[in-house]
Amino acid sequence: MSLIKTSDEISKMRQGGQLLSKALKAVVDAVVPGVRLFELDAIAERVIREGGGEPSFKEYKSSKDDKPFPSTLCLSVNEEVVHGCGNRDYVLKDGDIVGIDVGCWYQGLCTDMAVTVPVGKVSPSAIKLMEITKGALFAGVRAARVGGSIKDISSAIENFVKPHGYGIVRALVGHGVGHAVHEEPHVPNFVSAQYPDVKIVDGMCLALEPMLGLGGSFEVETGKDNWSIIMKDKSLGSHFEVTIAVTKNGVEVLTPMPV
């Protein structure tokens, strides 16, 4: 499996990314107090399938022995930072924040994106957390270039977040994407010798996705459902993600942000 995508493959990912953005916008527009998570999930699946795509998370297994993921969306509420199941009967209430993570297959190629949005009126601290997470994401996008390295992206995200004191989740990182839901290379949101500093080359497609905790800790734990990843200190979590293509012509966001 090649980590490099051809111009034709990037074109197909661009079309898939536009479909994914359309589905995400439809979900964001439906987020109000009183809506149930499974209702949002149904909206995303309908838009993706009507557009000729196929959800990439639903029935996804990272290995053959894993339990398949049960929904089209990852819907993560409040202290759930990522991987909350979208098929739950949870009713969103005023003051919640919800992370909406979605991926799809389109013409044999995969894209991935996420936003975190308020439900009704939320606290100023929640608004700021979401704003900084989104800002960190695009700091990473701006740092990506052919001839640079993954470390440039990691450093840009980390340096953007540091002055605000939020915890950067370390147990999960961004990744390559396109031929599979998750590909090499790992794209951490922090600088660490734990991950190889991979050179960025023409045609590389990456999913950048900072995940932050309001409480300042990076520690997370798995929920009782064995899916949701929860901030261990139970503070609010926030997650934003886009798929980008890095070519000799620059960086292109293949999944336009709907909010």
Q: For residue 67, give every residue at least 6 positions away whose Cβ sits within 8 Å of its Cβ, in sequence order, or none.
A: 61, 226
Query: Distance between CA 139 and CA 135 in Å, rounded?
Result: 6
Burial 167-181 (b: 16+ CB within 10 A, else e): bbbeebbbbbbbbeb
Q: What is the pLDDT of residue 86?
A: 98
Q: What is the pLDDT of residue 1?
A: 47
The residue range of the domain holding 189 is 7-253
Q: What is the pLDDT of residue 64?
A: 73
Nearest to 113 by CA among 192, 44, 50, 184: 44
Q: For residue 181, give every residue at least 6 positions away whose Cβ sits within 8 Å of its Cβ, in sequence order, or none.
A: 56, 57, 60, 103, 110, 112
Specify if 2 maps to a domain.
no
Phi, psi of 16 (to 5 degrees): -65, -40
Q: What is the pLDDT of residue 210?
A: 98
Instruction: Name the domain count of the chain.
Output: 1
Specify if 258 maps to a domain.
no
> Which tokens in the block code for residue 175?
């990744």
Specify if 259 maps to a domain.
no
Report mean pLDDT in 10-residue bins for the chain, 259 residues.
88 98 98 98 98 97 84 98 98 98 98 98 98 98 98 98 98 97 97 94 98 98 96 98 98 94
Specify if 223 maps to a domain.
yes
Query: Distance between CA 162 and CA 36 in Å, rounded?
Result: 35
Cβ atoms of 245 and 165 closer than 8 Å:
no
Q: What is the pLDDT of residue 259?
A: 78
CATH number at residue 160: 3.90.230.10
Q: What is the pLDDT of residue 37?
A: 98
